[in-house]
Amino acid sequence: MGDLNTAMIEKYRNRFLKEVEANVEEGEWVKMCMQCGVCSGSCPLGKFWEHPPQEIFMMIRAGKRDEVLSSESVWMCTSCYNCIVRCPRELPITHIMHGLAHYAKRLGLVPKNQPTAKFAQMFWDNLMVKGRVNELKLGLNLYFMNGIGDGVKVALKNQKIGLGMLKSKRMNPLEAVGGHAVKDLKGFHAVLKKAQELEDKRLADHGA
């Protein structure tokens, strides 16, 4: 991934907006932002963003590549779509944030231990195994994502929630072995492998 990052820096030099337009999902919309700030004021986690969306858009145009791509901010999106429906220019802000976060991950620029980046990757890896999410394994991986010691603490803190879910039959310990899956797993994996190849090819072509 470091190589891809270097290739992109070489290729785009100081033209970060161009890089975003070419490589980030829905990135071609960034230039449409008119800096009104409605997105920043509408975000439920607004107060936790070091750089709220409006600022991120201006920073992209100002060429602040490292500051944007290694920012915790792009991982603060809850996907509530408040910004999307309120943006007077109708920018797909939610998707741009997801796109920036994904691009940062592809380039290996995510801040260490960013919890949402870790959880989001776990979710994807989990569903790719059997085509459907295994909630039990996802939950256990989440508890232990910062190591065993921390994991035991988190697990104990959430013990009561686990028991409640178990009692109401909304959690099944048997998911630890086997679990729900698509039947045509071979076909599923072949389809997703091809999609990933095509996606990688496009990004590699842009970096070349």
Partner 1 sequence: MAKRQYSFYPGCSSQKGASSSNYLISVQTMCEELEVQLNEIPDWNCCAASIGYAGGGELPRLTLSARNLALSEQHNPGQDVVATCAACWLSTREAQERLHEDQSLLAEANTALAEAGLKLTKEMPIKHMAEVLIEDIGYAELGAKVKRPLAGIKIAGYVGCQTNRPFGIAGESFENPKYLDQLVETLGGDSIPDYEKKVQCCGGALAFSEPEKSQEMVKGIIEAAYDHGADLIVTPCPVCQMNVEVYQDQINQTYGTQFKMPVVYYSTLMAVAYGRSAKDAALNGQVIPAKKLEAIAGK
DSSP state of 28: G
Total residues at the site for partner 1 (CB under 8 A)? 66
Sites for partner 1 among residues 170-189 (CB under 8 A)? 170-172, 174-175, 180, 182-184, 187-188
Q: Which of 6, 14, 35, 79 binds partner 1 (CB under 8 A)?
A: 79
Task: Residue 120: name the closest of 101, 147, 135, 148 by CA.
Answer: 101
Question: Considering the rule CB under 8 A, would residue 164 count as an interface residue with partner 1?
Answer: yes
List b or e across 127-138, with b for residues whose CB sees 16 or more CB atoms inside 10 angstroms: eeebbebbbbbb
CA-only gyration radius of the chain, Å:
20
Q: Which region among 9-17, 30-38, 53-61, 95-103 touches partner 1 (by CB under 8 A)?
A: 95-103
Residue partners of 171: CB distance under 8 A and separation at least 6: 135, 136, 139, 162, 165
Q: Report d(CA 193, CA 29) in Å as an integer.
A: 29
Q: Which region among 8-16, 31-39, 57-65, 73-81 touches partner 1 (by CB under 8 A)?
A: 73-81
Q: Which of 45, 62, 152, 176 binds partner 1 (CB under 8 A)?
A: 45
Question: Considering the rule CB under 8 A, would residue 32 count as an interface residue with partner 1?
Answer: no
The number of beta carbons lying within 10 Å of the beta carbon of residue 167 is: 9
| Interface with partner 1 (CB under 8 A) | 25, 44-45, 48, 76, 78-82, 84-86, 98-99, 101-102, 105-106, 115-121, 123-125, 127-128, 131-133, 135, 142, 157, 160-161, 164-165, 167-172, 174-175, 180, 182-184, 187-188, 190-196, 198-199, 202-203
